[in-house]
Each structure stands twice: as C-alpha cells, then as structure tokens.
Amino acid sequence: MTSLVKTGIDGLDKALGGGIPEGNIVLLSGGAGTGKSTLCLQHIINGAAKYGEKSLYISTEQTREELLRHGNSFGWEIEKLEKLGKIKIVYFDITAHKDFIKSIDEVVREFKPKRIAIDSLTTLTDALLISDISEQTAFSLAQIAETVTPIPRTEQVIAKTILYQLMKNLKEYGVTTLLTSELYEDTNRLSADGVSEFIADGVILMFFVGIAGTDSRTLRIRKMRYCEHLKSYLPYEIKKGEGIVVNTEESMDVLMK
C-alpha cells in the first residue's frame, strides 16, 4: 500500500483520501492570486512543524525575505524551523543563474528533504530554455520538430525535453514534490507550458469564480495517481493566521459547468 504524505491542510488531505501518495510529483495550476505559493509554503511548513520532515522550498520568483514576510503574515515561524535545520529556502535569480537542473540536484542531495516545493515551473522553464540547453541540442531538437510539426511547436518540444529531465531527476529522489504553474484564462491547457500536466503524477487546479459580484476561490483535483480522490470543485479560502482552508462539505460543480 502506498504511503500518504499529509499536506497538513485538513480539507485537502480529506479530498485526497488522506494525503498525497509518497513520491508523487504534483502540479498546482492557477491564475495570479489563487494561492499557489501559499499552498506550497503551507505544505512545506506543515511538513517541518507538524510531521518533523525536512522540507525544501525552491523559488524562482520570490526572494527568501519576501517568503519570510509572506509566511509571517500567517504566523508561520519559518526562521525558527530554518535554525532547527527542518526547512531550507533557496532562491534562484533567473536573470543571473545558470544550470538550474544541476543546482537543484546539488541542493536536494545535500539537504536530503522529504518534501519539495518548486515555485514556479513557468519561470523555471523559461529560464531553462535560455540557459540549460546547449545550442547543438536545441538545434537537433528543432530539426526533429520541423520534420513532424510546424516551426511554432519547436519551443514546446524543447520545453518538454527539459521538463522530462527535471521530473526524471525529481522522481529519482523519491521525494513528494509540488510544482506551481500559471494557468491563463480561456485556455484548454492545465499548465502554462501545456506538457507538464501529462508528466506529473497529479494536477490540482485553482480558480477564481465570480459569485454575486465577488470573487470566490475553488480548487479541483484533476488527477492523482495511486489514490482515490474527490473530483468535485471545492471552495477554499486564504485565512489570516491559517493559510489555505478547503471546504469538502460543499461543492461548486454547478457553477463550474
């Protein structure tokens, strides 16, 4: 039987049938302001504070100081957990950093976390397209792409190759991992790149929904390998002093049709 990793977010764990199957790579897709980073950080904090698991947060968008401020707004004691060696926050500046996959590998092998969050895959993929593929590799991939698809799909072929390599590495660690991706409005994709949803073991979608002139939030577990889970659209809130709170007693399915 597959072990389950609790996120520590009660409603989400209930919707997942107890937690995320250990070792799964889970994509969190949503628009700006849906709480992707908050959910990731909460998962990491809970792993360290509630379950005593070493947890790694890799950010390509918010600096450590910004994440500390974000966590402090919910009363999360990130610095205390850092001093105890339970949490490590790493910020990669995409404008200056090179060889992200190698750097991630070095951090993971040194820190040996039980859970990882990478925020965001969208920014990371853009940076990897620029820095991690050699000109020769890119040229070879472009040649292959042009023989079977129109030229505009060349970048997607390269991105898919990068993502496969990144997720292959993450799989080898055997660590439960959350990845965030922007989800643009009016799109049929489940991620910004259009390919990571097929590679990931799980996909959780996060939305804003307009109700009576106000914006409410809802999430849906679109897929999760190795477990039974709720498939409804579930309302959630981002509460001061708590973070993400998911309500499994209600469904927003009718509004999402």
pTM metric for this prediction: 0.85
Amino acid at 144: I
Contact in structure between 178 and 167 (CB atoms under 8 Å): no
CB 248 within 8 A of CB 219: no
Q: Which of 98-107, 137-146, 181-190 has the lowest mean pLDDT?
A: 137-146
Q: Alpha-carbon distance 52 to 54, whole Å?
A: 7
| Each residue's pLDDT tens digit, 173-206 | 999 999 999 886 666 666 766 678 888 999 999 9
Q: Tell me whether strands 214-224 and 243-246 are parallel, antiparallel or unpaired.
A: unpaired
| Vertex 56 angle, CA 132 and 217, to 5° | 95
Q: What is residue 191's predicted lDDT score, i.e. its pLDDT?
A: 72
Report whether pLDDT(113) > 60: yes
Cα–Cα distance measured from residue 111 to residue 44, given in angstroms and rounded to the nearest whole number: 14
For residue 164, the model assigns a pLDDT of 82
Cβ atoms of 55 and 25 within 8 Å: the answer is no
Nearest CA-CA partner of 89 in 129, 114, 49, 117: 117
Long-range contacts of 71-77 (CB under 8 A, 24+ apart): 71/41, 71/45, 73/240, 74/38, 74/42, 74/240, 74/241, 74/242, 74/243, 75/241, 76/41, 76/42, 76/45, 76/49, 76/243, 77/49
Confidence grade of residue 143 (pLDDT, cut at 50, 70, 90)? very low
Strand-pair category, 55-59 with 87-91: parallel
CA 243 to chain centre: 16
Q: What mean pLDDT, rounded, does the chain reach?
A: 84
Task: Of 83-92, 158-167, 207-216, give the range with the top mean pLDDT.
Answer: 83-92
Spatial distance between the Cα atoms of 252 and 146, rounded to a whole number of angstroms: 43
Tokens for 79, please give them.
């610095």
34-188: CATH, from 3.40.109.10, 3.40.50.300, 3.30.460.10, 3.40.50.720: 3.40.50.300
Instruction: List, for residues 207-248, the tens digit of each pLDDT value.
Output: 987 666 667 899 999 999 999 999 999 999 999 999 999 999
Q: Checking DSSP bridges between strand 25-30 and strand 234-239, what pairing results, if any? A: unpaired
Q: What is the per-residue pLDDT across 15-47, written as a single tens digit (0 to 9) for each?
A: 999 999 999 999 999 988 899 999 999 999 999
| pLDDT for position 165 | 83
